[in-house]
Amino acid sequence: MLYPVYVFTGDDKTAHGMEFPDFPGCFSAADDWRDIPRLAQEAIECHLTGEDAPIPAPTPLDRLAGNPAYQGGAWLLVDIDLSRVDAAPRRVNISLPRCLLAEIDEYAKARGATRSGFLAEAARAAMR
């Protein structure tokens, strides 16, 4: 989905600052204009991690363009992949050996976690 991102133009000594009007408190910076889409996606993913609030629809650029808070820079529309920030649980069907499943359940229970919570955290740790 295309979201407006305001870029406060940097120079040789200062990175380009980014602000996301639809995500208050979400900021980022990039040294190179080509990095802005990737870093914008990353910033929004980090900003929304663990949030239960609904993801807002993008504000039309024509409603933002005249805002005096945004002067001296440039507006960009960045395609944000919202499927990467949807934290809603989704049921999946996987197959594991019974003995491994029993170990997982025992390990998770001993740490006050659920099977799903443990598997999600283990997947995150493995992908870091």
Query: CA angle, 46 as apex, 2 and 29 as ends, to 5°?
Result: 70
User: Which pTM was predicted?
Assistant: 0.67
Split at pLDDT 50, 70, 90, the class of 54 is confident
**pLDDT tops 90 at residue 96:** yes
Share of the chain above pLDDT 90, in %: 66
Split at pLDDT 50, 70, 90, the class of 87 is low
Higher pLDDT, 4 or 53: 4
Query: CA angle, 8 as apex, 3 and 11 as ends, to 5°?
Result: 135
**pLDDT tops 70 at residue 86:** no
What's the whole-number average pLDDT of the chain? Answer: 91
